[in-house]
């Protein structure tokens, strides 16, 4: 009531909220307009109790006896996840992977707008890939600040990843998705999500090795 009510939110809850959001988007497309936690459970792959518990960290979105209104819950999740607005994104490293991501339609659909790309190859600087202009890495600070970019995607080779991340942070970026492995020293107040293909493959290898 009065005073802050900060319940500790499990780290994995946010991930699950994204999964619920995706499931609800699909349900909406299928024309389903309301759903119970039990039914959502089957689609999302987490227990009904888990779903209800996750949601109540943020409020009350359903009605006893009725379940959740799909469009309403979806909209609430958009707000909770912060995707009820556009986000400006910079991509650093216009190699094959970088260009694949620049061409990926999913980002724009989700309101993540890649406003600028950076590379140090003079061949690429000044060009556009999938409609995104490539700037020289030395212009990162200037361009990021002038375009008020808030997120970074890092697709540079491993060897320079750390330097690039430092540059992004210097330019005021506080949230980064890196495809290069980084030594795990995250400055405080900076969120770095890593997509590490080697680790993913090793997870598969471990599974196959220990499951027979």
Tell whether residue 11 is a contact of DNA (CB under 7 A): yes
Tell whether residue 71 is a contact of DNA (CB under 7 A): no
How many chain residues bind a copy of itself (CB under 8 A)? 60
Give the range of 61-69, 74-82, 139-147, 174-182 binding DNA by CB under 7 A: 61-69
Minimal distance in Å, beta carbon 33 to DNA? 13
- Cβ proximity to a copy of itself, 12 vs 138, nearer residue: 12
Residues 93-132 within binding reach of a copy of itself (CB under 8 A): 95-97, 99-101, 103-104, 106-107, 110, 112
The answer to whether 190 and 176 have CB atoms below 8 angstroms apart is: yes
Tokens for 35, please give them: 């759903």
Strands 62-63 and 34-35: unpaired
Tell whether residue 10 is a contact of DNA (CB under 7 A): yes
* Cα–Cα dist 176/178, whole Å: 6
Residue of 22, 28, 43, 50 that binds DNA (CB under 7 A): 50
Residue of 3, 31, 65, 189 that binds DNA (CB under 7 A): 65
Tell whether residue 22 is a contact of DNA (CB under 7 A): no
Minimal distance in Å, beta carbon 83 to a copy of itself? 5
Residue of 32, 61, 113, 136 that binds DNA (CB under 7 A): 61
Q: What is the 3-state secondary structure (H, E, C) of the chain?
A: CCCCCCCCCCHHHHHHHHHHHHHHHHHHHCCCCEECHHHHHHHHCCCHHHHHHHHHCCCCCEECCCEEEHHHHHHHHHHHHCCCCCEEEEEECCCHHHHHHHHCHHHHHCCEEEEEEEECCCCCCCCEECCEEEEEHHHHHHHHHHCCCCEEEECCCHHHHHHHHHHHHHCCCCEEEECCCCCCCCCCCCEEEECCHHHHHHHHHHHHHHHC
Residue ranges in contact with a copy of itself by CB under 8 A: 14-15, 17-19, 21-22, 26, 43-45, 80-83, 87, 89, 95-97, 99-101, 103-104, 106-107, 110, 112, 150-151, 174-177, 181, 183-186, 189, 191, 193, 195-211
Residue ranges in contact with DNA by CB under 7 A: 8-13, 35-38, 46-50, 52-53, 55-56, 60-68
């Amino acid at each position: 009531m009065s005073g802050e009510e900060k319940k500790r939110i499990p780290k994995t809850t946010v991930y699950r909220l994204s999964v619920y959001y995706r499931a609800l988007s699909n349900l909406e497309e299928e024309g389903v307009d309301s759903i119970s936690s039990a039914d959502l459970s089957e689609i999302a792959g987490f227990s009904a109790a888990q779903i209800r518990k996750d949601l109540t960290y943020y409020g009350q979105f359903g009605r006893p006896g009725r379940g959740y209104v799909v469009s309403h819950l979806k909209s609430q999740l958009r707000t909770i996840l912060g995707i009820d607005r556009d986000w400006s994104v910079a991509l650093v490293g216009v190699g094959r992977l970088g260009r694949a991501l620049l061409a990926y339609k999913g980002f724009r659909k989700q309101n993540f707008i890649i406003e600028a790309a950076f590379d140090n190859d003079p061949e690429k600087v000044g060009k556009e890939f999938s409609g995104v202009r490539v700037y020289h890495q030395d212009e990162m600070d200037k361009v990021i600040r002038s375009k008020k970019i808030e997120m970074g995607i890092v697709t540079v080779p491993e060897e320079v990843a750390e330097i690039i991340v430092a540059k992004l942070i210097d330019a005021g970026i506080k949230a980064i998705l890196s495809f290069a492995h980084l030594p795990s020293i995250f400055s405080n107040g900076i969120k770095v999500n890593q997509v590490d293909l080697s680790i993913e493959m090793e997870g598969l290898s471990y599974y196959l090795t220990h499951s027979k």
